[in-house]
């Protein structure tokens, strides 16, 4: 899938994302604090969310807090953090320090008897001056009851796409957080 720079939150934030993603707000109501993008040919989704900073101060704890909060919101039966890595400010084009977390959650969809396995890729950007945690999440179903999960090649491709999006994310207008 080809990529291009996409404006989010009315252009206040930009990131390199796949061309052809569907803006979920065209299909359903999405909170003003979220941008939700859907893959047209799979159940993969990308969410960028503006959240109030959590009390944690260590990068690992901040990312784990947001991952656990997502697991709670998803009613996950099980959640596992696989890896947490901090990316320093001067090593990416966005010039923001951020943390990448990779994990899995077992989530029942639509009252199914077996939970789906969702691979979660999460980048958390702490915007200290505005008391904001900006959270970029990619939800990649890898095992689903309807057989629509992505295979290993699909997961590898999703990881590459996510890393590009996370590293390219730039805040153009900090007034968004006012």
For the stretch 55-65, pLDDT in tens is 999 999 999 99
Residue 41 contacts residue 32 (beta carbons within 8 Å): no
Domain extent at residue 116: 3-177
CATH number of the domain at 120, please.
3.40.1000.10
What's the structural domain count of the chain? Answer: 1
Integer Cα distance of 14 and 63 in angstroms? 21
**Model confidence over 108-150: pLDDT tens digits?**
987 788 999 999 999 999 999 999 999 999 999 999 988 889 9
Integer Cα distance of 144 and 11 in angstroms? 35
Note the pTM of the prediction, 2 decimals: 0.94
Helix (H, G, I), strand (E, B) or coil at 109: coil
CA-nearest of 119, 23, 15, 101 to 65 is 101
Integer Cα distance of 41 and 43 in angstroms? 7
């Amino acid at each position: 899938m080809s990529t291009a720079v996409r404006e989010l939150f009315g252009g206040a934030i930009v990131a390199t994302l796949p061309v052809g993603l569907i803006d979920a707000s065209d299909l359903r109501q999405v909170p003003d604090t979220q941008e939700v993008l859907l893959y047209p040919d799979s159940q993969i989704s990308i969410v960028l969310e503006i959240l109030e900073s959590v009390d944690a101060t260590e990068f690992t704890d901040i990312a784990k807090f947001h991952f656990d909060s997502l697991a709670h919101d998803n009613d996950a039966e099980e959640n596992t953090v696989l890896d947490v890595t901090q990316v320093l400010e001067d090593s990416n084009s966005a010039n923001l320090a951020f943390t990448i977390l990779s994990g899995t959650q077992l989530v029942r969809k639509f009252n199914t008897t077996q939970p789906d396995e969702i691979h979660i890729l999460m980048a958390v950007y702490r915007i200290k001056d505005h008391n904001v945690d900006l959270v970029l999440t990619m939800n990649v179903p890898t095992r689903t009851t309807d057989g629509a999960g992505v295979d290993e090649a699909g997961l590898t491709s999703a990881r590459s796409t996510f890393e590009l999006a996370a590293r390219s994310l730039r805040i153009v207008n900090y007034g968004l957080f006012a």
